[in-house]
Amino acid sequence: MHRDVKPMNLMLCVQGGRHDVVKLLDFGLVKEIGGGHEEQLTQPTKISGTLLYLAPERLRAPDRVDARTDIYSLGAVAFYLLTGKHHLSGGTDADLLDRILRQEPVAPSKRTDQPIPPELDELVRACLSKEMDERPADTAAVLAVLDSIKSLEPWTEERAASWWRAHRG
């Protein structure tokens, strides 16, 4: 488990001739799960990570985190990418901590004028659910929903290569 998924820790690159390879960076808060033992680099009861991407269970029950904790953060990243705004906003850190625990997620389509397919809107809301059990179980479940959205224009290798050629400095 990464425990600090946020835009600053995601890098888009070309690797092995493939475009748009996403690399997850900064493993300072990683926690290994499964395999009968758990190792971590940080103490589970300390609040660490970036508040705007922090899942509620990291505050409520830090010993009860799993892949769905990173799914929440992925939902926060998706919300930001779709709207240009954070799903939670403003105030002091204490205000933000309160919103993490209590404020229900808003659909990204409510925070932008850009069209967002309803299925994508619902997926992001599900990822941002306050309850772990209401989120997709893992990234495979997220990808399955994304693959099923027919109204999304496919992002092909050709389109990606064209974008990289146009924007490489």
Which tokens hold the place of 15? 């690797």
Catalytic entry in 4, 93, 95, 121: 4
The yes-or-no answer on residue 113 being catalytic is no
Which distant-in-sequence residues (6+ apart) come within 8 Å of 110 by Cβ? none
Residue with tokens 């929903």: 145
Helix, strand, coil share of the chain (percent; to 5): 45, 10, 45
CA distance 78 to 98: 21
CA distance 136 to 144: 10
* 1 strand-pairing partners: none
Q: What angle do CA 79, 87, 8 make, to 5 degrees?
A: 65
Which distant-in-sequence residues (6+ apart) come within 8 Å of 117 by Cβ? 149, 151, 152
Catalytically annotated residues:
4
